[in-house]
Amino acid sequence: MEKSLHGSTLFVTLSLFFYIPVSICVPFILFHGIQDQCSNGGVSSFTQLLSNLSSSPGFCLEIGNGEQDSVPMPLMQQASVACEKVQEMKEVGQGYNIVAQSQGNLVARGLIEFCDNAPPVFNYVSLGGPHAGISDIPKCTSPVCKLLKTEVYTDYVQDHIAPSGYIKIPTDIKEYLKHSKYLPNLNNEIPNKRNPTFNNRFSSLHNLVLVMFQGDTVVIPKESSWFGFYPDGASSPLLIPQETKLYIEDWIGLKTLDAAGKVKFVSVPGEHLKMEQNDVVKYIVPYLQSKPKLASECKLNRKTI
């Protein structure tokens, strides 16, 4: 009887030991948008707000010189820098969540799909991301914008202006697939060159939250934030995500995630990236939140990496 009791006690002790989580808090990384940087007040405050509301440690990942490099550095290079930084981060070694803003979403997705030997990403919250591309650049008359409008698929523009990597002119799909150096690869669009690894990595997410801003005039069409876009060869009609070839043929695993109930298509009022705090609490925080019993043990911080 005594021997049996000792054996039971040992079993319970070992069971408790093996169920202790390796990491009590899941940190998150924030990727800011174009012409912004981690040290700017808005990005810094937002990272801290998310950390405070979720009781999880948050880090803003900076690419190069931030605002200065967000335009001239090609997106493939930005994704490569992000990959190297995350691989070196001990804080996210057991896995982490992502929140990304605007262009930062394409860097974040490059990290998820292209980065080898990287820690797993659990939940990914996308805010106004041009996932299916943008068909136009409104209200922009700078020399850079003129190049994007007239020479977007030239090697020079592709190599020197980051947004060129996700401009997708629906009536010029042949040139887009042939010369665009980022989005066609990210979305696994090129026939006979689709990489199942990208699909497997993206579809391994636990949750994908796609936030579209109803008043968005930066991401054109705004439905690109949900992976909606126009059919190849035409500028109408606008297809909802489930009507696109990317979804139907499941090029990156979006259909797989959606079928498993892991995709949240969220629409909020406001202009691009203008989000009320109650919507932040409702749509972002639950996917970053630490368990209540463990929250007090998390080191809350806002850190740039």
The two tokens of residue 219 are 């991401």
8 A C-beta contact, residue 169 and residue 135: yes
Place of tokens 């079928």: 259
8 A C-beta contact, residue 271 and residue 215: yes
Q: Look at residue 263 and give its three-state secondary structure.
A: strand
Q: Residue 122: which H helix or E strand, with range? A: strand 121-127
Say how many Å lie between the first and final Cα of the chain, rounded.
57
How far is residue 121's CA from residue 257's CA, in Å, rounded to a whole number?
14
How far is residue 124's CA from residue 183's CA, in Å, rounded to a whole number?
18
Q: Residue 200: which H helix or E strand, with range? A: helix 196-202
Q: Can you name the residues that pair with 29 across neighbouring β-strands?
A: 59, 98
Residues shown for the chain: 305
Q: 216, 224, 225, 258: which is the annotated catalytic residue?
A: 216
Tell me, rounded to whole angstroms, the distance of Cα 8 from its chain centroid: 47
Q: Is 258 a catalytic residue?
A: no
Q: Is 32 a catalytic residue?
A: no
The two tokens of residue 279 are 């919507």
Q: How far is CA 65 from CA 126, 141, 302, in A?
A: 23, 25, 18
Q: Which residues contact 273 (CB under 8 A, 6 or more apart)?
A: 33, 101, 102, 127, 128, 213
Q: Residue 207: which H helix or E strand, with range? A: strand 207-213
Q: 54, 80, 102, 126: which is the annotated catalytic residue?
A: 102
How far is residue 5's CA from residue 1's CA, in Å, rounded to a whole number?
6
Q: Is 142 a catalytic residue?
A: no
| Residues carrying an active site annotation | 102, 216, 272
